[in-house]
């Protein structure tokens, strides 16, 4: 696990991209032993203009100015104990932000950043926090349908080559289709059924538009079918 940054540390990243009228996202690179893994931050704007920042990533100042113009950073979702890298520097930048973390991971996350709640109220019923097996997700209702934002439970990396790409495929983060990565599946243990049930609940939503993952591409082609397949892999 990479040590959390104590100062504002910008790693390689792309441009902020508008996903919908209320969602921004940006993808960066995180160097790991023998590999480079893509990581994603997703920003959701509530009806009041507050921002829910999921899996924070320190950006260059032009992108941070764009983020701040989009809305007021109000909630920082640290989705799991493995995604703490930029949380401390975000809290320093926005000291009044409300820090959200899953209750099952709050102790470990609390070692590097204060945790304010595991049951947030975003003041907007169309944006909902879901805790699943020590991990986090968001449900966002929009004009184009529902977007689900997940963390490590689904990997969908494509086009990675070399030894790093091979390792990512072996671990299930990369491949032709979305996967529950092997290390994540191992950590789930007795919670596999809980995750499978949640995947099936999302698959029942006829308005499901996309699934956004922390590591890999957004799933926009038949996301409901992808969730059913993923649920079966956990049975």
Provide the pLDDT for residue 187: 86
What pTM did the predictor assign? 0.92
Q: Predicted confidence band at 172 (pLDDT cuts at 50, 70, 90)?
A: low
Domain-embedded: residue 2: no
The predicted-structure confidence for 62-108, as pLDDT tens digits, reads as follows: 999 999 999 999 999 999 998 899 999 999 999 999 999 999 989 99
Residue 119 class from Cβ within 10 Å (0-12 exposed, 13-18 middle, 19+ buried)?
exposed
What is the chain's length? 235
Structure tokens at 39: 């990581």
Residue 8 belongs to some domain of the structure: no
Range of the domain at 127: 17-234
pLDDT given for residue 34 in this prediction? 63
Classify residue 30: in a domain, yes or no. Answer: yes
Provide the CATH number for the domain around residue 222. 3.60.15.10
**Which of 41-45, 93-97, 187-191, 199-203 comes out lowest in average pLDDT?**
187-191
| The pLDDT of residue 38 | 86
pLDDT score at 235? 87
Q: What is the spatial distance between Cα 110 and Cα 106, in angstroms, rounded to a whole number?
A: 6
Number of CB atoms found within 10 A of residue 17's CB: 10
Is residue 158 assigned to a domain?
yes
Q: Is residue 184 part of a domain?
A: yes
Q: Decide if pLDDT at 1 tops 60.
A: no
Q: What is the mean pLDDT of the chain?
A: 91
Look at residue 148 and tell me if it is in a domain: yes
State how many domains the chain has.
Answer: 1
28-49: b (≥16 Cβ within 10 Å) or e = bebeeeebebbbbbbbbbbeee
The verdict on residue 199 lying in a domain is yes
153 assigned to some structural domain: yes
C-alpha to C-alpha distance for 54 and 191, rounded to whole angstroms? 23
Find the radius of gyration of the CA atoms of the chain.
Answer: 17
Average confidence (pLDDT) over 22-34: 86
């Amino acid at each position: 696990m990479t040590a959390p940054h104590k100062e504002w540390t910008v790693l390689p990243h792309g441009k902020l991209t508008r996903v919908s009228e209320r969602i921004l996202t940006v993808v960066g690179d995180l160097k790991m032993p023998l590999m480079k893994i893509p990581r994603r931050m997703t920003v959701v704007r509530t009806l009041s203009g507050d921002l829910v920042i999921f899996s924070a990533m320190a950006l260059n100042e032009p992108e941070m100015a764009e983020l701040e113009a989009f809305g007021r950073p109000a909630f920082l979702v640290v989705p799991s104990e493995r995604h703490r890298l930029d949380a401390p520097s975000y809290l320093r930048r926005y000291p009044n932000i409300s820090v959200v973390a899953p209750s099952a991971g709050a102790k470990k996350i609390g070692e590097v950043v204060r945790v304010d709640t595991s049951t947030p109220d975003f003041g907007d019923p169309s944006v909902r926090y879901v805790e699943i097996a020590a991990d986090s997700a968001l449900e966002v209702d929009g004009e184009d349908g529902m977007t689900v934002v997940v963390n490590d439970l689904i990997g969908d990396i494509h086009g990675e080559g070399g030894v790093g790409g091979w390792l990512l495929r072996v671990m299930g983060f990369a491949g032709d289709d979305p996967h529950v990565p092997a290390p994540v599946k191992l950590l789930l243990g007795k919670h596999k059924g809980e995750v499978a049930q949640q995947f099936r609940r999302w698959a029942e939503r006829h308005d499901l538009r996309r699934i956004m993952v922390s590591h890999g591409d957004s799933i926009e082609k038949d996301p409901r079918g992808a969730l059913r397949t993923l649920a079966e892999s956990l049975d």
